[in-house]
Structure 1
């Protein structure tokens, strides 16, 4: 399932400074995990895989809260971008390889390595079930000790123990770090289920119920539990409130507009920030304007827009206007890393753009996804405590690495 080249290794650090809210200072704890790009899954190109994830997320808003959360159809097993970490469960801990997902929030094990009960295992007697579109699991809920690292140990964490799974070959389950509301309806006789980040916060291990994400093009990055790492940013973190527009409001949703040069291609609307989406997806009407402005042609093999060297030289900055702050994506930031062209089934000498079609015109309530291709240029913070998303520039914002 995960036949792809490792793109980068990312380090999770427990505590750092937060620009908006002071945090308790604790010794740093780290956990290494890998980030991979599944360029082709089931003979689908990377654009169609991302688009399928987006369309599943758009479908969320048409369902009731209990039905929506209990049967989420967001693809994770076939996601274009996947993250795995070694996570310990129990005492002594059994190590499990878990997918890290910001688009779902339940943590569960047992897809490959069987769950091993220890003295810390408590069977709640509740059933748990989540569908992810291309995969699913069902089983029992347990409370157990979850060890992310020596400094990130959670006692009494709700976990699913799978008795039936589909589509999770090569991994043991999921470490869910999405919004807590996505757990509603997934566990019988239970409302929302606290995520691992929620419990780190409630138990006082971290000072804010927040997650910071740092990517650097083609090199290592980190996740920060408890806030942001100021050593990775070149500006203050600017926060904006979560959008109230459905279905973006079920995820890490924000409001933004997009301009290409001086021309507006997407008026202010709601969408999401998502590490599990590889590309930058925008509404079809905005995508058509972008394609026309750049002169790009659609490459049927990769599903990406393709431009010539002359067109690349004339690319203008793509500006994301979020909460009164403009985040500019340079010409180099708009293209897929050329060293990875062949991983997509593309030509090594071609130039491909990372902006693509979400598959529907604006007005759905989820009109864009700022995915990995955006986030590798900007630091992002997902703050449950204050219901906000933060962004900052980094040394990679204007890098010429592609």
Structure 2
């Protein structure tokens, strides 16, 4: 009886570790990633356009998209029956899913995986057209419906874009095939229900919550972190979560208490957006100008280097808690000169890309329209949990063998 109770106790513990309500998607970073001044300037232009959402000439909403040295994080999804696998960028700064169509002959489409509707038994025609404008080109096509699955979840019927025309070369060398937007419904082209909201509506995830761990240490590591659908994993962060209410439920936008560069107050009460589809930190022009003055940044975006650790820490105060970005994370050295991974924006809000999000585990609580931040646990990972599982299983076998 004692042996039985021991075994039951261990099995309960193992069951708690293997939480089936969490659906994990491994994220990857492109091996081509390299942050340079040129890439920073290009991305700055991209983000400025991305957040200038207007309507195109034919009346359709547009979202600015582009690719800059493949800085994005991406993972796999499956569309159709049988499943056709695509690598997509999981982007909290947009709200639509789109992939290249088999009807697209543009160079960027030909070099990526194409969706073949005639090979899927679950395809449903939609036919409404869309036109998405991005820097130096456009993607255009039509909407379709098919089963979309990810992380072992049963497929959900999702409306998505089939790109049939791509102008420009922005996606030509990208490591991903398409975009999966994770912002709020009002931001979606054609008011399509975003994928995650669709999953929750069909009760395929238990909680209306998803969370990101973005690894930003190293530029060629294949493991870029993970996206968890349906909740969060305390093993991936340390300390308490700090929550802040979403102030504009289109983007994942919130209000900061203050932002400081060292002892210099840059702003009080500035809005900020958590954007997993952006690499940099973007500040409103007036606030960037103040920061640039501290570093004596020249007209080309460079300043004289000294020991990077001697520069001040950037401090975002959110819901009464300080979230610090050390200079090693926001300064890039190029020979005798340095440049900032902080750039100016035409918007009146900050945009927090992976320079910030790579330091902090981030929970996107759709149901309560709030964000949660906590320090990344550098030792916590699903691999760590598997190690615990292995140790416990070995211990069980040892106990049974001894007795």
Aligned to 2:201: 202
Name structure 1 gaps, 5 residues minimum. 1-23, 398-402
| 1:204-228 per-position Cα deviation (integer Å, ceiling 9, x unaligned) | 2212223211123225311111232
Distance 2:144 2:372 in 1: 33
Partner of 1:288: 289
Of the structure 1 ranges 378-387 and 211-220, higher mean CA displacement relative to structure 2 is found in 211-220
Q: Verify: 1:375 aligned to 2:353, yes or no.
A: no
Instruction: Give TM-score scaled by structure 1 length.
Output: 0.74
Q: What are the superposed Cα offsets for residues 96-137 of structure 1, whole Å, 9 maximum, x if unpaired? A: 233332222211222343322321111124333333334433
CA distance in structure 1 between the aligned counterparts of 2:115 and 2:363, rounded to whole angstroms: 32
User: Is it true that 1:224 corresponds to 2:228 in the alignment?
Assistant: yes
Deviation at 1:49, TM superposition (A): 1.9
The unaligned stretches of length 5 or more in structure 2 are 1-17, 102-108, 380-403
Tell me whether 1:139 sits opposite 2:141 in the alignment. Answer: yes
Distance 1:175 1:281 in 2: 22
Alignment map for 1:38-117 (pairs within 5 Å): 39=34, 45-60=38-53, 63=54, 70-78=60-68, 81-109=71-99, 110=101, 111-112=109-110, 113-117=113-117
Separation in structure 2 between the aligned mates of residue 259 and residue 237 of structure 1, nearest angstrom: 21
Residue number in structure 2 paired with 1:266 = 267
- Which residue, 324, 330, 335 being the options, matches 2:326? 330
Q: Which residue of 1 aligns with 2:376?
A: 394
Residue equivalent to 2:150? 148
Runs of 4+ residues deviating >6 angstroms: 66-69
CA 1:40/1:243 → structure 2, altered by over 3 Å: closer, same or farther? Answer: same
Q: Cα–Cα, structure 1 residues 38 and 313, in superposed 2: closer, same or farther, change >3 Å?
A: closer
Is 2:33–2:69's contact at 8 Å kept on the other side of the alignment? yes
Q: Is the 8 A contact 2:25 2:227 kept in 1?
A: no
Output aligned runs, 1:117-128, within 5 Å.
117=117, 118-128=120-130
Residue 166 (str. 1) matches residue 205 (str. 2): no
CA deviations on 1:126-151 (whole Å, 9 max, x unpaired) are: 333333334433333222111223x2
Looking at structure 2, the residues matched to 125 and 283 of structure 1 have their Cα atoms a distance apart, in angstroms, of: 39
C-alpha distance in 2 between matches for 1:33 and 1:26: 19
Work out whether 1:213 is the aligned partner of 2:212. Answer: yes
- Find 1:355's aligned residue among 328, 332, 342: 342
Cα displacement (A) at 1:238: 1.3
Q: Is the 8 A contact 1:378 1:396 kept in 2?
A: no
Contact 1:123 1:140 in 2 (8 A): no
Asked if structure 2 preserves the Cα contact closer than 8 Å seen for 1:77 and 1:135, the reply is no
CA change 1:130–1:335 in 2 (3 A) is same
Give 3-state SS (helix, strand or coil) of 2:144's partner. Answer: strand
1:240 corresponds to 2:244: yes
Q: SS where residue 287 of structure 1 aligns?
A: helix
Instruction: Please say if residues 154 and 199 of structure 1, whose CA atoms lie closer than 8 Å, have aligned partners that are also in contact.
Output: no
1:157 maps to: 158
2-structure distance, mates of 1:59, 1:124: 28
Report the CA distance shift for 1:212/1:48 in structure 2 as closer, same or farther (over 3 A).
same
Distance in 2 (CA, whole Å) between partners of 1:382 and 1:50 is: 24
Structure showing greater radius of gyration is: 2
Q: Which has the higher helix share?
A: 2
Distance in structure 1 (CA, Å) of the matches to 2:134 and 2:153:
27
Deviation at 1:350, TM superposition (A): 5.4
Give RMSD over aligned pairs. Answer: 3.1
Which SS does the other structure have where 2:45 is aligned?
helix
SS of 2:203 mapped into structure 1: coil
Say which of 171, 180, 186 aligns to 2:185.
Answer: 180
TM-score (norm 2): 0.74
